Amino acid sequence: VVNPDAIYHARLFSRRHLANSLMQQFEDLFKSQESASPYQFNDKDMGSRSLKNVCLGYLAETAQTNYFDLCFQRFESADNMTEVQAALSILSHHDIDQRGKALEQFYAKWHNDAQVVEKWLAIQAGSRLPNALDRITSLKQHESFSMTNPNKVRSLIGTFCRANPYQFHAVDGSGYEFLTSNVLELDSMNPSIAARLVQVMARWKRFNETRKILMRDQLQRIMDQKDLSKDVYEVVSKSLAD
């Protein structure tokens, strides 16, 4: 039986314990990978950037202001999108002023680049902060989002449902209701995308009784709709029958 709550809290506890226990080592390792050389696309530099991002993520888990400042500084000064996005992603998980500033600055700079905006949407959809569903619902009304754009749908709705399990599997079932409403909205305009989204609930029997009932009810809600596409009908009917 999958327990999203236990998995989330165990992982978060482990990250914070490692971060606080090895804080100085993470800081020293981060500094050791700093380089005055401009961005280069090669194995060595890619590995170094990846290592710095990991260290920065752990340092932020200590919730110390100086490390949040370091992360924001990295966001503003990095000369490559890899580190900019990594810093933004790290900040997105913390309820701090730097988070809002970074999100605003990022969108203001890159709003004309569709692929980068998709990353911006996905980062927010994957945030572990409370009230995630309120933010996702708000972003659906943002000028950058369109239900007729499959990439935008995958970035925002798909990321929330697939890559943010703690928030999506909220015990009140709000995540399941949100997914169902969007699947039904998408079914007439893009059945294949709708079918892929609803697959998130296809393994409903692997969860505890409360979540099983909530997911099954939403799947049945979809099945009860008239003129359901073949794509969605196939996924949902098979899931309910298995």
Where residue 35 falls among pLDDT bands split at 50, 70, 90?
Answer: confident
Helices 81-92 and 65-77 cross at an angle (nearest 10°) of: 150
Distance CA 61, CA 168 (A): 22
Look up the pTM and report it.
Answer: 0.94
Where residue 39 falls among pLDDT bands split at 50, 70, 90?
Answer: confident
Q: What tens digit of pLDDT does each residue of 203-220 get?
A: 999 999 999 999 999 999
Contact 11, 166 (CB under 8 A): no
Q: What is the mean pLDDT of residues 128-134?
A: 94
For the chain, the average pLDDT equals 96
Q: Is the pLDDT of residue 36 over 70?
A: no
Distance CA 114, CA 210 (A): 39
Where residue 34 falls among pLDDT bands split at 50, 70, 90?
Answer: confident
Question: Which residues are CB-neighbours of 141 under 8 A, at least 6 positions away?
Answer: none
Instruction: Tell me the backbone φ, ψ of residue 207, rounded to 5 degrees.
Output: -105, 175
Of all residues in the chain, the percent with pLDDT exceeding 90 is 95
Comparing CA positions, the residue from 148, 153, 157 lying closest to residue 179 is 157
Q: What tens digit of pLDDT does each residue of 161-181 get?
A: 999 999 999 999 999 999 999
Distance CA 99, CA 184 (A): 33
User: Which 3 state secondary structure label does DSSP give 239?
Assistant: helix
Letter string b/e over residues 60-72, b meaning 16 or more CB atoms within 10 A of that residue's CB: bbbeeeebbebbb
The beta strand positions in the chain, using DSSP E, are none
Q: What is the mean pLDDT of residues 49-77?
A: 97
Contact 101, 72 (CB under 8 A): yes
Q: Which residue has the higher pLDDT, 92 or 45?
A: 92
DSSP type of residue 75 = H
